[in-house]
């Protein structure tokens, strides 16, 4: 299968892009090769790499707006965990489909997902059907540890790679964490975990283990370049140094951190240290949408106001964090438009008001646009959204409406 995109705007220049199988084969001023499908966008569309949403719990769309305006501890233990107890594998399947419709419509092509272990099959099925790329976390905590230990690791597919996802140090004991690290080593898997999201997590760690979360993990031998940590809000300089030395990646989740009033990610300090920063929406119960355009804009603005520095988290930096850096953390050649990279691409409709006028395209993307400027989405060399239409949308909305009744 090959796709030729003609007359598309790439970094302010008109280009032709040839996709063969699942990769970008050729980028040139003019390509005359034959292709199975030719899309001539007549300079009315620009092309960007698809976004990498590096931390999310997609089926939490089922609980969108279920519990708002609460601190993390109350939100999680009193509201979310009891509601999630009612969610089965089939619910996860439909919740994931709903989330992926929203994500694809706002230009995301790759997700780093962790959700209920009992819904793993439902997640995988929905991801395959929707055609998006994913690292699918096998979520482990002290409650499901015995089940997860007996579980056989599924095989990776063209779209899905599995990883191990211990929830956090306050839900996974040292024994569980050591097992997860060992499982990662044996199977060469990424580790995806929440880290130092709130001040309470840090003070509880000091009380329980006599050390801060990063020191606790470092002393356990847990840290290496397979680790991708979400939130990572409350880190001191020594902890940043340790994370840098171990090659860990950190995920900035601005909307969730703001909504749960968790704190502010030290974006500039972490960036200057040379630690890889990615961007994620977290779940729809703490955001409450999955639009990476919102995440980029709010993520950038939060840094500017927090540092009283308009040069903090510039548009081009935050766009890189939302694309290339995610690919790097998750070990895939995606997030960049270059020959040989995976064909995970989005087309941007330049006729939208956001781009009129357009003095600087990246600035228009980060500060002016919404996800609805994405017209078409290609993932792994396949068109998964054409002219904003995705197959089977209506059925998904109906099913989710039905499922949501059980939480009332
Ligand atoms: Zn999370």
Instruction: Give the pLDDT mean for 389-404.
Output: 95
Percentage of the chain lying above the pLDDT 90 cut = 97
Measured distance CA(79)–CA(68) in Å, rounded: 10
Q: Put residue 43 in one of left, alpha, beta given phi > 0 → left and psi -120 to 50 → alpha.
A: left
User: What is the whole-number distance in angstroms between the Cα of residue 24 and the centre of ligand 1?
Assistant: 32
Q: Residues with beta carbon < 5 A to ion ligand 1? A: 282
User: What is the whole-number distance in angstroms between the Cα of residue 225 and the centre of ligand 1?
Assistant: 20
pLDDT per position as a tens digit, 300-349: 999 999 999 999 999 999 999 999 999 999 999 999 999 999 999 999 99
Global pTM value? 0.97
Which H or E run includes 17? strand 13-20
The pLDDT of residue 37 is 97
User: What is the whole-number distance in angstroms between the Cα of residue 92 and the centre of ligand 1?
Assistant: 16
Q: What average pLDDT does the structure give for the chain?
A: 97
What phi and psi values does residue 313 have, to the nearest 5 degrees?
A: 45, 60
Which H or E run includes 393? helix 393-404
The pLDDT of residue 227 is 98
- 357 prior amide bond cis, ω within 30: yes
Polymer length of the chain: 408
Alpha helices in 131-249 (DSSP H): 145-150, 174-187, 199-209, 213-219, 237-245
Q: Mind giving me the DSSP string for 290-333?
A: --HHHHHHHHHHHHHHHHT-TTTT-HHHHHHHHTHHHHHHTT-S
User: What is the whole-number distance in angstroms between the Cα of residue 114 and the centre of ligand 1?
Assistant: 8
pLDDT per position as a tens digit, 67-106: 999 888 898 999 999 999 999 999 999 999 999 999 999 9
Measured distance CA(156)–CA(380) in Å, rounded: 15
Walk me through the domains of the chain, giving residue ranges and CATH numbers.
Answer: 2-49+337-385 (2.30.40.10), 51-329 (3.20.20.140)
User: What is the whole-number distance in angstroms between the Cα of residue 286 and the centre of ligand 1?
Assistant: 9
User: What is the whole-number distance in angstroms between the Cα of residue 404 and the centre of ligand 1?
Assistant: 21
User: What is the whole-number distance in angstroms between the Cα of residue 261 and the centre of ligand 1?
Assistant: 14
pLDDT at residue 408 above 90? no
Q: Assess contact for 263 and 199: CB atoms under 8 A.
A: yes
């Amino acid at each position: 299968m090959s796709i030729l995109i003609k007359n598309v705007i790439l970094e302010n220049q008109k280009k032709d892009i040839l996709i063969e199988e699942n990769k970008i084969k050729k980028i040139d001023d003019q390509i005359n090769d034959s292709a199975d499908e030719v899309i001539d966008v007549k300079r009315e569309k620009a092309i960007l790499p698809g976004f990498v949403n590096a931390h999310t719990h997609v089926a939490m769309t089922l609980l969108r707006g279920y519990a708002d305006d609460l601190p993390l501890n109350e939100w999680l233990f009193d509201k979310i965990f009891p509601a999630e107890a009612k969610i089965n594998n089939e619910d996860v399947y439909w919740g994931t489909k709903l989330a992926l419709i929203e994500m694809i419509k706002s230009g995301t092509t790759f997700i780093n997902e962790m959700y209920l272990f009992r819904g793993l099959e439902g997640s995988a099925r929905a991801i395959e059907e929707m055609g998006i790329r994913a690292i699918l976390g096998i979520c482990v905590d002290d409650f499901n540890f015995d089940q997860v230990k007996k579980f056989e690791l599924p095989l990776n597919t063209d779209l899905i790679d599995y990883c191990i996802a211990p929830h956090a140090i306050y839900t996974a004991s040292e024994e569980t964490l050591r097992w997860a690290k060992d499982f990662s080593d044996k199977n060469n898997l990424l580790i995806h975990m929440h880290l130092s999201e709130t001040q309470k997590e840090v003070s509880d760690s000091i009380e329980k283990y006599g050390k801060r979360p990063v020191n606790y993990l470092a002393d356990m031998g847990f840290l290496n370049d397979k680790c991708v940590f979400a939130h990572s809000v409350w880190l001191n300089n020594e902890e940043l140094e340790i994370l840098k030395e171990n090659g860990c990646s950190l995920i900035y989740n601005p909307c969730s951190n703001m909504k749960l009033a968790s704190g502010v990610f030290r974006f500039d300090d972490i960036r200057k240290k040379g630690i890889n920063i990615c961007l994620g929406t977290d779940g729809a119960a703490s955001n409450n949408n999955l639009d990476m355009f919102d995440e980029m804009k709010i993520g950038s603005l939060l840094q500017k106001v927090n540092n009283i520095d308009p040069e903090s988290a510039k548009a081009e930096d935050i766009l890189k964090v939302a694309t290339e850096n995610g690919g790097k953390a998750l070990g895939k050649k995606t997030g960049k438009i270059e020959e040989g990279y995976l064909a995970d691409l989005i087309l941007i409709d330049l006729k939208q008001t956001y781009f009129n006028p357009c003095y600087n395209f990246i600035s228009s993307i980060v500060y002016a646009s919404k996800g609805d400027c994405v017209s078409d989405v290609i993932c792994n060399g396949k068109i998964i959204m054409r002219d904003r239409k995705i197959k089977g949308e209506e059925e998904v909305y109906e099913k989710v409406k039905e499922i949501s009744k059980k939480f009332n």
